[in-house]
Structure 1
Amino acid sequence: MKLALITDLHANRDAVEAVMVHSVLQGAQRYAFLGDYVGYGPEPGWVVDFLIEHVRQGAIAVMGNHDSAVVKGPTPTMVPQAREVVEWTRNQLDDHQLTFLAGLPMSVRDEDRLYVHANAFAPDQWAYIVSRMEAIRSLHCTEARFTFCGHVHEPKLFHLTTTGKAGEFKPVPGVAIPLSPQRQWLAIPGSTGQPRDGNPAAAYAMFDTDTHALTFHRVPYDHEAAAAKVRAAGLPERLAERLVDGD
């Protein structure tokens, strides 16, 4: 089964639509959404409705920190821009959409795979996996062979051997990486809706559950048009600039 891994959509309809078209062409048979469907972007209602429909069709979806903030209130550590957009987003969503976000699980375990937004060691504390050290800590907290996370807006791949040796790969878009079932793996597909690695193209990954091959993808889309929507919504200018420069 080809499983599309999509995360950090951030209310960016243009990027989400581009990724969905690409994933269909790549043969996606199921979808796993790894959190942060809202926040930063101008079309939260559309993205939440999109997610509701895909979950109805059997997709996996977990809660992200921006989703949680919209229904529970922002955390003290949220930067001012994020807090501002949380309040704006809440006013864009109806009760049904807010109830759906509130009901999302923090993590989902499915066969040998764990899906979670931030990490496996404290999913509701939203700590980032920015280095091998955090990746190892997360892998030590689950027996799942493959962990798929969001939260970090850059594609990353870590592994842990049975002898405790850890390593990481720098993914190359479009190149399949065979994930040995003799190791534990933690993969971060990168952000669909707000990439931060200097490349504005939307990011996602495809995992073949039969061959255990993981392929990271980048999908160009009209990020200038998406940035214009951010400005038209009256959201902070920096959020529009991030879509243009991918940083």
Structure 2
Amino acid sequence: MRLLLLSDIHANLHALEAVLEDAGRHAYDQVVHLGDAVGYGPRPHEVLDHLRALDATCILGNHDELMLQILNGTRAADGIVTQALAWQATQLQPSDAALIGSWRDGIEDAEVGARYRHGTPTSLHEYTDSLGAAREAFAAWHGRVAFVGHTHLPGVYATLNAPVGEWVKHQSLSDGGSYMVPPSARVILNPGSVGQPRDGNPHASYATFDSARGLFQVFRVPYDIEATQAEIRAAGLPDVLAARLSLGK
């Protein structure tokens, strides 16, 4: 099985379309989105339309969860994050809300032998963003392969056997690159963010995974950042959401 792995699109249509065009160079069997299709950006409906057309396997992210709360009136627009979501809610169609509402908080894929979840293998909201956090995740979860998003940082946390027992290492893939999953390792793999990278590289990030070979590959793709920034400003969203895209932060 070959997966196309997307995460944290954050309503950035131009980034998503650039990624999908680039991904056309690779053969894949299934698209998996690891959460946060909405939030921050200017084109939520169009992004959801693409995921629907791709028949993507989608899991719930924290911004997707907040969107559902905005839509059902249990969360107020009390900050930049929820302000953007409240505006996005006015752009959605009923079918979009139903799509987000159908997403689960984590999926076990028996065919691939992997877990999909937004934050860590055991949490929607927590971050796999340090060796300590990875150790905690590996201690609480005993699977072999997990795919997460949430940090907007592409890379790998892996457990390896050592004389003193299992230990954890990290490999950043901010510039793209490949990681072959060792036969004896357990791994947490992050494809980075399509729509709002935070590693200092403003190019959109995505990944592929070949389950037969254990090969994880991250790709970075330039896109029309200025067009997305113009749409954010035209929508009246906070300017920081536009400015940060140029910085990759």
Query: By the TM > 0.5 criterion, same fold?
Result: yes
State the alpha-carbon separation in 1 of the partners of residues 18 and 183 from structure 2: 31
State the alpha-carbon separation in 2 of the partners of residues 175 and 95 from structure 1: 39
Given candidates 54, 70, 89, the residue that maps to 2:67 is 70
Deviates more, 1:197-206 or 1:160-169: 160-169
What letter is aligned with 1:169?
Answer: Q
Q: Secondary structure at the match of 2:87?
A: helix
Equivalent residue, structure 1, for 2:140: 141
In structure 2, the CA distance between the partners of 1:231 and 1:121, relative to structure 1 (3 Å rule), is same
In structure 2, the CA distance between the partners of 1:65 and 1:53, relative to structure 1 (3 Å rule), is same
Asked whether the 8 Å contact 1:71–1:90 carries over to 2, the reply is: no
Matches within 5 A, 1:2-151: 2-55=2-55, 59-73=56-70, 80-111=79-110, 112-123=113-124, 126-151=125-150
Q: Secondary structure at the match of 2:54?
A: helix
Structure 2 gap segments, 5+ residues each: none
Identity %: 34
State the alpha-carbon separation in 1 of the partners of residues 80 and 237 from structure 2: 9
Asked whether the 8 Å contact 1:173–1:215 carries over to 2, the reply is: no
Moved beyond 4 Å, runs of 4+: none
RMSD: 1.9
Asked whether the 8 Å contact 2:117–2:123 carries over to 1, the reply is: no
In structure 2, the CA distance between the partners of 1:172 and 1:198, relative to structure 1 (3 Å rule), is closer
Please state how far the C-alpha of 1:79 moved relative to its aligned partner: 8.0
State the alpha-carbon separation in 2 of the partners of residues 75 and 127 from structure 1: 22
Q: Secondary structure at the match of 1:161?
A: strand
What letter is aligned with 1:49?
Answer: D
Please state how far the C-alpha of 1:54 moved relative to its aligned partner: 2.0
Please state how far the C-alpha of 1:161 moved relative to its aligned partner: 2.7
Please state how far the C-alpha of 1:63 moved relative to its aligned partner: 0.5
What letter is aligned with 1:102?
Answer: G
What letter is aligned with 1:32?
Answer: V
State the alpha-carbon separation in 1 of the partners of residues 123 and 45 from structure 2: 28
What is the TM-score with the length of structure 2 in the denominator? 0.91
What letter is aligned with 1:115?
Answer: Y
Structure 1 gap segments, 5+ residues each: none
Q: Secondary structure at the match of 2:60?
A: coil
Q: How many residues align?
A: 241
Asked whether the 8 Å contact 2:121–2:147 carries over to 1, the reply is: no
Which whole-Å deviations, capped at 9, do the CAs of 1:65-124 have from their partners, x for residues lacking one? 111101124999x9821011111111111222111101200001112211011112233x
Please state how far the C-alpha of 1:229 moved relative to its aligned partner: 1.1
What letter is aligned with 2:235?
Answer: A
Q: Secondary structure at the match of 1:164?
A: strand
Asked whether the 8 Å contact 2:3–2:32 carries over to 1, the reply is: yes
Q: Secondary structure at the match of 2:66?
A: helix
Equivalent residue, structure 2, for 1:155: 154
State the alpha-carbon separation in 1 of the partners of residues 54 and 222 from structure 2: 23
Q: Secondary structure at the match of 1:109?
A: strand
What letter is aligned with 1:82?
Answer: V
What letter is aligned with 1:62?
Answer: I
State the alpha-carbon separation in 2 of the partners of residues 172 and 235 from structure 1: 28
State the alpha-carbon separation in 2 of the partners of residues 92 and 172 from structure 1: 32
State the alpha-carbon separation in 2 of the partners of residues 153 and 9 from structure 1: 10
What is the TM-score with the length of structure 1 in the denominator? 0.91
